[in-house]
Structure 1
Amino acid sequence: MPDPREAFDAESTALQVIDGIDLRGSTAIVTGAGSGIGVETARALAAAGAAVTLAVRDVARAAQVAADIRASTGNGAVRVALVDLADLGSVRSFVDAWSGPLNLLVNNAGIMDSPEMRTPQGWEMHFAVNHLGHFALAQALHPAMLSAGGARIVSVSSSGHGSSGIRFDDPFFERDPYDPGLAYGQSKTANVLFALKATRRWHGDGIAAAAVMPGGIWTNLQRHWNPAVLADMKKRYATKTVEQGAATSIYVATRATLGPGTPAYYEDCHPAKVVSAIEGGVHGVLPHALDAVAAERLWEVSVRLVAQTD
């Protein structure tokens, strides 16, 4: 019989990938699950029986999403909790309220190409939300994942990582002029490097991670784009549905083989090819996102930055 992992591709949906998986008795957190692919990621996990927490900024909106997921899956264990990844005090409050083991952490929330914004610490917002907030969340939830006796972290990245490595000398654009594309790209590279280092650092604790590229999908993520550019892009490029966009997150969360030495970046439910330039604006992972030295350095920098807010 063919390997069932080979049955999934760019057209697969999250519910197709989760079919046959039993997650009853397990727990999951999905950040940014109030819209876009986060909703369908949470829905698929709930359909498999997991107790799912939608970790969001807009709890009223997410409450409606949770009600819809409960109705569509028959799983009543879907709840909403407040977390603002730009505010590490909010991250700490979310973790303080968590109890019990955690099997799956899906770091899905993010911002893209926004105007220049900064946290109270002066951190550039893409790096703060897309990377540092999720880094702090995972660090603080490490005991809960350890107690699960086997946990996975899904780090939602993007082909946008191709536009920038980690700007270690000026990560917050304090010296150079702010560039939203570079800021987004840096944060998406950070997502991959985090997954790479987390797996190597925590594999002895039974925790593994990998990053995913959901694919080209039109969601609220592009709200900061020029409307004319967005309209033109929608005409010229084929895209996935949100259900298809959530598929690779579900694949990594439930089916992929993860651990030291295994692929750290997936697309279309398969490990991505290492390339010298992103193909077609979508496919492949660049070497700078898989650099073990950069991953170690980023981890050390992130630890220092997060510690400054304690």
Structure 2
Amino acid sequence: MSTITTPFGFSSTAAEVAKGIDLTGRRAVVTGASSGLGAETARVLAGTGASVTLAVRDMAAGERVAKDITASTGNRDVQVAHLDLADPQSVTAFTTAWEGPLHVLVNNAGVMASPEQYTEQGWEWQFATNHLGHFALATGLHDALSADGNARIVAVSSTGHQQSPIVWDDVNFAFRPYDPWLAYGQSKTANVLFAVEATRRWAGDNITANALMPGATYTNLQRHTGGRGSGRVPAELIKTVEQGAAISVLLATSPLLEGIGGRYFVDCNETDTVDRRTGTLHGVARYAVDADNARRLWDLSESLLTQAI
């Protein structure tokens, strides 16, 4: 299995990656598209001619972004729909209301290093939002993705996945002290494992899924970590929102990714598999692309969601 490389890299922007791409007649959903990377991803996808749905919690913010996207791209086929990933009923309402095929699903929304919090079902908040909500969304939209005949799922993960594998015996921090970064890491590992198993499980439906690290960008994601003043990443490694969204757009649109799934990308190229934390933004932990782990997480996720209904 050869490593995927592209002409793009650290400094590439979403607009540069999408240049020449025509998705007229195709449909895309971007979660968390009311600001930051999601908004830029949605804007560039709309620029390709796609019909784009912004799946957001804050409808007013979503409407503002949709209006701006239409003004900047000329694409009037931009919708806003409510979606709260931490609420299974909200996810079900979204998927039930969807009609017709879906070409691209960008699982972009997320929370990072948030204070200890649990859903009504007892799920740790970051695992519930970053993984379980997106898992329920993708499985709920499976028929729509399958109907497209060549659909793609983009899972926005993070180098933070190197902080923690899935802790199978205590996913929800019931028996260990809560650590916001370990919880974040576990949820981001789950994003990668989802891409691995979705690609395997849905190969017959011509659905592929890939995961990515967008790079260090300053968005609302950092509201719990001190934002620009946190100093966690050297200034030279900080990307603009336009650069950070490039890799999501690449995985969603590029002919170079045709039929490719279950991979993890950094700076618009597939990265190496590693057995120890790298201390950099590169590398995907072996446990995050392990096929057995991916199947186990899928089964666990189905079980948790079934219990919630």
Q: TM-score normalised by the shorter chain: which range applies?
A: over 0.9
- Identity fraction in percent: 56
In the alignment, what sits opposite 2:281?
Answer: 282
* Cα deviation, residue 226, structure 1: 4.0
Are residues 1:112 and 2:116 paired?
A: no
Deviations 1:109-146 (A, max 9, x none): 00000000110001000100000000000000001111
* 2:258 matches 1:246: no
Superposition deviation, residue 237 in structure 1: 5.1
Q: Distance in 2 between matches of 1:55 and 1:110?
A: 12
Is 1:264 aligned to residue 263 of structure 2?
A: yes
Once residues 219 and 10 of structure 2 are traced to their aligned partners in structure 1, the CA distance between those partners, rounded to angstroms, is: 17
Asked if 1:307 corresponds to 2:284, the answer is no
1:103 is matched with: 103
Q: CA RMSD in A?
A: 1.5
Tell me which moved more, 248-257 or 140-149.
248-257
Aligned-residue offset at 1:276: 2.8
Matched-pair contact (CA < 8 Å) for 1:190–1:289: yes
Query: In the alignment, residue 169 of structure 1 is paired with which amino acid?
Result: D
Q: Does 1:9 align with 2:39?
A: no
User: Do the aligned residues in 1 keep the contact of 2:195 with 2:262 (CA within 8 Å)?
Assistant: no
Question: Which whole-Å deviations, capped at 9, do the CAs of 1:201-226 have from their partners, x for residues lacking one?
Answer: 00101101000110111111111014
**Secondary structure of 1:61 counterpart:** helix
User: Alignment partner of 1:281: what SS?
Assistant: coil
Contact 1:215 1:268 in 2 (8 A): yes
The 1:83–1:192 alpha-carbon spacing in structure 2 relative to 1, beyond 3 Å, is same
Residue 231 of structure 1, CA deviation:
4.1
The AA in structure 1 aligned to 2:266 is E
Distance 1:27 1:20 in 2: 17
Look up the match of 1:194: 194
> Are the aligned partners of 2:197 and 2:262 in contact in 1 as well (CA < 8 Å)?
no
Q: What amino acid does structure 2 have at the position aligned with 1:286?
A: A
User: 2:54–2:81: 8 Å Cα contact kept in structure 1?
Assistant: yes
Partner of 1:177: 177
Residue in 2 that maps onto 1:48: 48
1:158-177 equivalences under 5 Å are 158-177=158-177
Q: In structure 2, what is the equivalent of residue 295 of structure 1?
A: 294
**Per the alignment, in what secondary structure is the counterpart of residue 29 of structure 2?**
strand
CA distance in structure 2 between the aligned counterparts of 1:254 and 1:60, rounded to whole angstroms: 28
Whole-angstrom CA distance in 2 between matches of 1:168 and 1:231: 31
CA drift of 1:24 comes to 0.2
Verify the 8 A CA contact 1:209 1:259 in the aligned structure 2: no
Q: Which runs of 5+ in 1 are unaligned?
A: none
Give, in angstroms, the shift of residue 286 of structure 1: 1.0
Q: Which amino acid aligns with 1:135?
A: F
| Aligned counterparts of 1:108 and 1:190: Cα–Cα separation in 2 | 14
How many angstroms apart in 2 are the aligned matches of 1:114 and 1:258? Answer: 36
Q: Is the 1:203–1:259 contact (alpha carbons within 8 Å) kept by the matching residues of 2?
A: no
Query: Aligned partner of 2:31: which letter?
Result: T
